[in-house]
Amino acid sequence: MARAYARDCAARLLYARALGGDPIDDKSDILKAGLAEGEEAPGLDGGDKAYIAAMLDGVGETLDELDDWVEQYAVGWALERISKVDLSVLRLALFEMLHREDIPVNVSISEAVGLCNRFSTPESAAFVNGILGSVSRRLEEQ
């Protein structure tokens, strides 16, 4: 449960960043920044906070690479047309798939679809699932 919530926090922070929010430099405030008003944390430990920090840093450092993957597989969609929520979820999942060997690809895809179902639309969930499924098949071929 805690890793799923940590992923949720990371997606929210990436979304805030995509909207033009300031990058979060103080990693000790990561949990606070990822919580909605009145929301209580489910008890994230140091490993979960480290995961969030690693995702924020990693996505930031590989943003061009991640966006290239999105552009390649989002046929007929320019990055500017993809909702910021969906794009943030795609970036997070792609970073996990491409750069985190400790996270199974199917978990990254499943969690991304769940985040889209929670924060976006069923159509967005299908869109994200299609892109990530195509990337997954390409990675298996390599």
Concatenate the DSSP letters of all residues of 54-113 into one string: HHHHHHHHTHHHHHHHHHHHSTT--GGGS-HHHHHHHHHHHHHHHH-TTS-HHHHHHHHH
Cα 10–chain centre separation? 7
Total domains present in the chain: 1
Question: Which residues span the domain enclosing 67?
Answer: 2-141
DSSP 87-98: HHHHHHHHHHHH
**pLDDT of the residue at 100:** 96
Cβ atoms of 2 and 48 within 8 Å: the answer is yes
For residue 101, give the CATH number of its domain: 1.10.940.10
- Residue 26 structure tokens: 């103080």
CA distances from 71 to 32, 62, 78, 119, 126 (A): 32, 14, 7, 22, 17
69-113 confidence digits (pLDDT tens): 999 999 999 999 999 999 999 999 999 999 999 999 999 999 999
pLDDT at position 122, please? 94
- Is 79 within 8 Å of 71 (Cβ atoms)? yes
When pLDDT is cut at 50, 70 and 90, the band that residue 117 belongs to is very high
pTM of structure = 0.87
Q: Output the pLDDT for position 27.
A: 46
Q: Is the pLDDT of residue 68 over 90?
A: yes
* Residue 20: per-residue pLDDT: 80
